[in-house]
Amino acid sequence: MNKQIIFPKNLEKGDTIAVCAPSSGVEEQLHKYIRDAKRNVELAGYQVVIGDTVWKNEKCVSASKEIRAAELQQFLLDDRVNAIIPPWGGEFLMEILPLLDWEKIRTSTPKWILGYSDISTFIFAYTLLTGIASAHGNNFFDLSAYNLDSLTERWVDVISTRSGGTVSQTSSQLHQSFWRDDPNQGFQLDTQTVWKSIDSTDSIQFSGRLLGGCLDTISVLLGTPYAPVSQFVEDYCKDSGVVWYLESCEMNAADIYRRLWQMKMNGWFEHTNGIVIGRPAGYSDSKDFTIVDALHQIFDDMDIPVIYDADIGHIPPQMILVNGAKAKVSYVKGNGNVDLIFN
C-alpha cells in the first residue's frame, strides 16, 4: 500500500498569498505589472503579501542565495500564509535548495506553491522530499492581465479544490506565437493548438500520479539529494504508476534528447504510464534530428504512450498541473483533457 500524498488546504476567499522571488526578481521598469497583479488578485478576494526579494534583479537573481532561501522559508513556515506564487522563474533556484531546513518544511503546515520555469525546480523537489502536492502553472506576473484566458484563469479552481476533489481542464483552442509588449493585455492567442501523438494514434488514454516540470531545470537535480525520484515512486506511485509532464525552454532537439536520456538512465521513467510534453520554447531542430526523433529514441523501447505540443510551459496558455495528484489524460484527434484527482 503506497503512502498518501498530502494536499494543502484549499485556497478560500480572504486567504493570504505570498509573493517572493527564490530565483530571479523583477526589474524596476516592470514593477507596475507586479502591482497590477496584486490589485487583480486582491479584487478577486485574496490578501497579497509581497516579499523584499521581488523588487530587484542582478546577475539573474533577486538577492543572494542566503536571502532568497531565508525569505522563501519564512513564508513556507508562516501559518498566516496559505499559498506562495513567485513573480516568475529565472536561472539559479537550485542553489537555495541546500540552504532550506527541509525537516521544518516537511513538518510545517502544507501550503500551495504555484509557478513554472525555474520555479518548477523548487516545486519538483518540494513534492519529492515532503510528499506534499504542488502546482505547476502560471506565475504571479501573468495575473497582471486585465482578462485571463480560459486556461490561466483555472489557477484559482485548481488550488481551491479540496482534498478528494476533482478538477478537469481541456486543451486550448489557440496558443501564443509571440509575446506582447504589454502584459496587461494578456496572451496573444493567435495559433491553432493541436496536441499530437508520436505514433499518430487518433485516441490515447492513460492515468497515473503526475510528476514533472521544466526539463531545462529539473534535470539539473539528477544525482543530487533533491530529486529522489525512484524512492518517491516506490513510496507513492507503484500502485497507480506515473504520468510525466515535461516542457522545455531554450533547448534544441539534441539538448532535449540528452536530458531525457539522463533521466532514463537514472530510472526516472520506471513505472511510467504516459508522457505529456509541452510546446517547446526557444526550440530548433539539430540539423535533421527533431524533437519527435528524440521522443522516439527515448520511449519506443519502453512502450510508453507520448503526447507532445500540449498546453504546458513557456508557450502559453498552459494547464495547471499538480505534482502528486492523480491524473487521467485523454487525447482524441488533436484535443486533450486532463482530470486532476486530489487523492
Average pLDDT over residues 150-179: 96
Of all residues in the chain, the percent with pLDDT exceeding 70 is: 100
Residues that are catalytic? 117, 247, 314
Mean residue pLDDT of the chain comes to 97
Where a domain ends, among 123, 142, 164?
164
Where a domain ends, among 102, 136, 164?
164
What pLDDT does residue 1 have?
80
| pLDDT bracket for residue 181 (50, 70, 90) | confident
Residues 176 and 229 in one domain: yes
What pLDDT does residue 324 have?
98
Q: Give domain status of residue 63, yes or no.
A: yes
d(CA 46, CA 48): 6
> 310 is in which domain, residue-wise?
170-341
**Is the per-residue pLDDT at 49 higher than 90?**
yes
**Is the per-residue pLDDT at 180 higher than 80?**
no
Q: Give domain status of residue 3, yes or no.
A: no
**Is the per-residue pLDDT at 200 higher than 90?**
no
**Is the per-residue pLDDT at 193 higher than 80?**
yes
Q: Smallest Cα–Cα separation from 159: which of 134, 139, 122, 141?
A: 134
| pLDDT bracket for residue 276 (50, 70, 90) | very high
* CATH number of the domain bearing residue 246: 3.50.30.60
d(CA 200, CA 135): 30
**Is the per-residue pLDDT at 88 higher than 80?**
yes
Q: Give domain status of residue 71, yes or no.
A: yes
| pLDDT bracket for residue 294 (50, 70, 90) | very high
For 134-159, write each residue's pLDDT tens digit: 999 999 999 999 999 999 999 999 99
Query: Which phi and psi angles does 321 have, rounded to 5°?
Result: -105, 155
Average pLDDT over residues 166-183: 93
What pLDDT does residue 146 have?
94
d(CA 73, CA 85): 13
Helix (H/G/I), strand (E/B), else coil: 86: coil
Q: Smallest Cα–Cα separation from 50: which of 11, 17, 1, 12?
A: 17
Where a domain ends, among 147, 164, 181?
164
What pLDDT does residue 159 have?
98
Average pLDDT over residues 278-290: 98
Contact at 8 Å (CB) between 96 and 72? yes
What is the domain count for the chain? 2
What pLDDT does residue 232 have?
98
Residues 126 and 221 in one domain: no
What pLDDT does residue 204 have?
97
What cell was used for 262? 539522463
Average pLDDT over residues 234-254: 97
Residues 197 and 149 in one domain: no
Strand partners, 136: 115, 321
What pLDDT does residue 202 have?
93
